[in-house]
Amino acid sequence: MAQWVGFCVEDIFPAAAHTVAALKSYPSASEPTQTGFCVANGTADKEAMYATFAQSPLRTKRMGGAMTSLTGGEGYELSYLVDHYDWDGIDKVGGTVVDVGGSHGFVCVDLAKRWKNTHFIVQDLPKTVASAPDLGELGDRIVFQAYDFYTTQTVKGADAYLYRWILHNQSTPYAVKMLRQLIPALKKGARVVINDYCLVEPGVGSPIDEKIMRSMDLVTLSLLNAQERTEEEFKNLFQEVDARFVFKGVSKPEGSRMSVVEAIWDGEDFGGDVTL
């Protein structure tokens, strides 16, 4: 609780107070170095929030604790992703799932316990991968790999590429750039699976869920010039990335606060075995 309150008071509130000024100066609201956070911290046009936090272990730890507090609550359980998305087709063929930006692999650990024939590759920045824990017997099916998701995808021919809590930290130009890095690696029929909030029309669904999602939409704007998206915005995003993506839609299990967004690659086939 202390870390959540500290993150709100010391980081989010000052960013929010300077967001209007940032929007006036940078109306495109697309660059992570031109946010309310950057204006508040005197780093506009110099560095984004994560670069600022990297210089302060206290702020980094506080944000990490705040995010753990948020995502550890009711409606965020991994069981919604593990049990309510169709992983069965991948598991039956002993397929491969790449968790892009997957930190220390906690998502893949839960997936691997449920889907025992699937192989997983967890990608994140070198510093994160270097501190990844020993996964014991699951280490035979979960591999860590250093990767920058703004560069060409290095795992070719996987069955699915998973982005959990990733796209909502990206403005549309950066989300497009990120997803386009997949294209040279994709085989025909490969899935792109996004696990994030999906905004609905005002007044539709739970008022509490709507408040949380719209608050987070404003927070991501203030901190990163990013956003939460509606189903239509997700569909348009994939069309902008490449028209050969077939948007399959959005599903949200009963009780979950997060949705699963899926698109299928219908372009040229990578045409080879999975390569790391």
The count of other CB atoms within 10 Å of the CB of residue 124 is: 23
pLDDT at 74 (0 to 100): 87
pLDDT at 78 (0 to 100): 95
CA distance 237 to 223: 21
125 domain-assigned = yes
233 shares its domain with 126? yes
**Which is nearest to 193 in space by CA: 107, 117, 99, 110?**
99
63 shares its domain with 129? no
pLDDT at 66 (0 to 100): 84
203 shares its domain with 238? yes
Burial class (CB in 10 A: 0-12, 13-18, 19+), 57: exposed
| Domain membership of residue 25 as a residue range | 2-71
272 domain-assigned = no
CA distance 207 to 149: 34
129 shares its domain with 246? yes
pLDDT at 31 (0 to 100): 98
Instruction: Locate all alpha helices (DSSP H) within the chain, ordered by sequence.
Output: 2-7, 13-17, 19-25, 36-41, 49-54, 57-71, 79-84, 88-92, 106-114, 126-130, 172-180, 207-224, 231-241
66 shares its domain with 87? no
63 domain-assigned = yes
128 shares its domain with 11? no
pLDDT at 272 (0 to 100): 76
**Catalytic residue flag (residue 104):** no
pLDDT at 139 (0 to 100): 94
Q: How many domains, in total, are found in the chain?
A: 2
Dig out the tokens for 165 from the structure.
Answer: 């809590």
| Last residue in a domain, options 54, 71, 88 | 71
Tens-digit pLDDT profile for the chain (276 aa)?
Answer: 788 899 999 999 999 999 999 999 999 999 999 999 999 999 999 999 999 999 998 998 898 888 877 777 789 999 999 999 999 999 999 999 999 999 999 999 999 999 999 999 999 999 899 999 999 999 999 999 999 999 999 999 999 999 999 999 999 999 999 999 999 999 999 999 999 999 999 988 889 999 999 999 999 999 999 999 999 999 999 999 999 999 999 999 999 999 999 999 999 888 777 877
51 shares its domain with 139? no
271 domain-assigned = no
What CATH number should be reported for the domain holding residue 85?
3.40.50.150
| Last residue in a domain, options 71, 92, 109 | 71
pLDDT at 1 (0 to 100): 74
Dig out the tokens for 42 from the structure.
Answer: 């005197």
pLDDT at 206 (0 to 100): 87
44 shares its domain with 129? no
| Last residue in a domain, options 39, 71, 103 | 71
274 domain-assigned = no
